[in-house]
């Protein structure tokens, strides 16, 4: 049975509802040294967590036609929200332990405007609702029933998000309610996307069904501005995938953008972001976090804890899947 790869044992134990299997760690650890690795500056560009090539292809289509980065990131991640075979985002996402699919998403534009939805049910495109929150309300975050009601008022249709496949796997999981997390078995997860348009303006979006079989009501980092996503159009942007609790604790994406402001390259900033998480988890690094970042020049970087994380990039230089350097070596 396939299981979500990004479940941190200690988090689950603390929840007191699930027994977790500790993974033994005998892997070589890479010293966190200053990196000289960087990508050449190019723009426009769209990058996203993992190998979501259809999402970056869509974002590039928007950018290449002269569209703005906000439309590019929204339309890019919407591709994954609509893909029922993707069990970590949107329709078809894995449910919580009670069988409810609850979605988290946020979006941020060049002016620092942002919108977010958390614990949203029955709506197929949470990023589009998040954009409406940003553009049509004086608020930043709408949650649960209020967010759902707001979506209906904006014309979104009620949709069953639980596919037969995800339901089948959840029913199977319920037989033991036990996690045996296997890191990076599935090569996809939360999608966070960052883009720069032809005017040089940066936007970002992030969308997820969150941790599979989570406690009902749990919200991760992905819809939290500063944690799962942050954009500062003067400096750059960052987004995250992985165990959201750890990203929230370090306000990971905001931290990375601030490090870029202080002169680090996106690569160096992502490495420092992961290092902060490692520092808080010295006894157990058997979980995954992946960051990607971009600066105003269009230079990109990424770093993760476990090997296996990649990010997609689409620019005039091509459409490529870039393996991320990792703190732990395979
Ligand atoms: N960051 C997401 C969350 O914690 C999950 C993931 O990226 O795997 O909800």
Please give the distance of CA 183 from its chain centroid, rounded to a whole number. 16
Q: Which fold has domain 40-323?
A: 3.60.20
pLDDT at 69 over 70: yes
Tokens of 325: 């350097």
- The residue extents of the domains of the chain are 1-39, 40-323
Q: Among the residues of the chain, which ranges form H helices?
A: 9-15, 53-64, 69-82, 126-136, 144-153, 164-174, 244-250, 252-261, 266-279
Tell me the C-alpha distance between 148 and 156, whole Å. 9
Rounded to 5 degrees, φ, ψ at 166 are: -65, -35
Highest mean pLDDT (candidates 56-60, 86-90, 178-182): 56-60
Q: What is the mean pLDDT of the chain?
A: 88
User: Pick the residue with more confidence: 303 or 9?
Assistant: 303
Summarize pLDDT for 14-59 with one digit per residue, the tens. Answer: 333 333 333 333 345 555 444 445 666 678 999 999 999 999 999 9
- Say if ligand 1 is within 6 A of residue 122 CB: no
- Residue 41 has what pLDDT? 66
Query: Which band of pLDDT confidence, cut at 50, 70 and 90, is reported for residue 10?
Result: very low
- Residue 29 has what pLDDT? 55
Average pLDDT estimate for 311-324: 96
Are 301 and 39 in contact, with CB atoms under 8 Å apart?
yes
pLDDT at 8 over 90: no
Summarize pLDDT for 263-289 with one digit per residue, the tens. Answer: 999 999 999 999 999 999 998 888 999
- Residue 26 has what pLDDT? 37
User: Pick the residue with more confidence: 182 or 211?
Assistant: 211
56 CA distance to ligand 1 middle (Å): 19
Are 243 and 289 in contact, with CB atoms under 8 Å apart?
yes
Summarize pLDDT for 133-151 with one digit per residue, the tens. Answer: 999 999 999 999 999 999 9
Summarize pLDDT for 96-143 with one digit per residue, the tens. Answer: 999 999 999 999 999 999 999 999 999 999 999 999 999 999 999 999
Longest dimension (CA), the chain: 53
Query: Which band of pLDDT confidence, cut at 50, 70 and 90, is reported for residue 176?
Result: confident
To test the pocket of ligand 1, the residue of 2, 5, 187, 211 to mutate (highest count of ligand atoms within 8 Å of its CB) is: 211
Rounded-to-10 torsion of CA 52, 295, 118, 70: -80
**Cis status, amide bond into 44, omega within 30 of 0:** yes
Average pLDDT estimate for 54-76: 98
- Say if ligand 1 is within 6 A of residue 93 CB: no
pLDDT at 312 over 60: yes
Tokens of 221: 């980092």
198 CA distance to ligand 1 middle (Å): 30
To test the pocket of ligand 1, the residue of 15, 241, 306 to mutate (highest count of ligand atoms within 8 Å of its CB) is: 241
88 classed as catalytic: no
Summarize pLDDT for 183-223 with one digit per residue, the tens. Answer: 444 435 899 999 999 999 999 999 999 999 999 999 999 99
């Amino acid at each position: 049975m396939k299981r979500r790869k990004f479940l941190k044992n200690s988090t689950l134990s603390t929840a007191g509802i699930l027994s977790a299997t500790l993974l033994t760690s005998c892997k070589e650890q890479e010293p966190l040294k200053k990196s000289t690795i960087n990508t050449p500056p190019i723009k426009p560009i769209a990058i996203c967590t993992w190998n979501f090539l259809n999402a970056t292809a869509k974002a590039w289509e928007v950018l290449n036609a002269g569209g703005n980065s906000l439309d590019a990131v929204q339309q890019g991640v919407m591709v994954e929200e609509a893909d029922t075979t993707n069990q970590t985002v949107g329709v078809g996402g894995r449910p919580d332990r009670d069988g409810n699919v609850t979605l988290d998403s946020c979006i941020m534009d060049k002016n620092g405007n942002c919108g977010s939805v958390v614990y949203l049910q029955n709506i197929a495109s949470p990023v589009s609702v998040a954009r409406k929150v940003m553009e049509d309300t004086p608020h930043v975050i709408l949650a649960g029933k209020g967010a759902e009601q707001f979506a209906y008022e904006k014309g979104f249709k009620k949709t069953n998000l639980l596919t037969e496949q995800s339901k089948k796997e959840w029913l199977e999981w319920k037989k033991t309610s036990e996690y045996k997390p296997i890191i990076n078995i599935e090569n996809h997860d939360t999608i966070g996307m960052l883009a720069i348009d032809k005017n040089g303006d940066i936007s970002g979006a992030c969308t997820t069904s969150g941790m599979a079989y989570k406690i009902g009501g749990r919200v991760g980092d992905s819809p939290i501005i500063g944690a799962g996503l942050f954009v500062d159009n003067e400096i750059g942007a960052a987004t995250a995938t992985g165990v959201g609790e750890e990203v929230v604790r370090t306000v990971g994406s905001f931290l990375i953008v601030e490090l870029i402001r202080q002169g680090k390259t996106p690569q160096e900033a992502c490495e420092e972001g992961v290092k902060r998480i490692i520092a808080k988890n010295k006894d157990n690094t058997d979980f995954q976090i992946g960051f990607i970042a971009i600066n105003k020049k269009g230079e990109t970087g990424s770093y993760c804890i476990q090997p296996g994380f990649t990010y997609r990039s689409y620019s005039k230089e091509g459409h490529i899947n870039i393996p991320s350097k990792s703190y732990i070596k395979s």
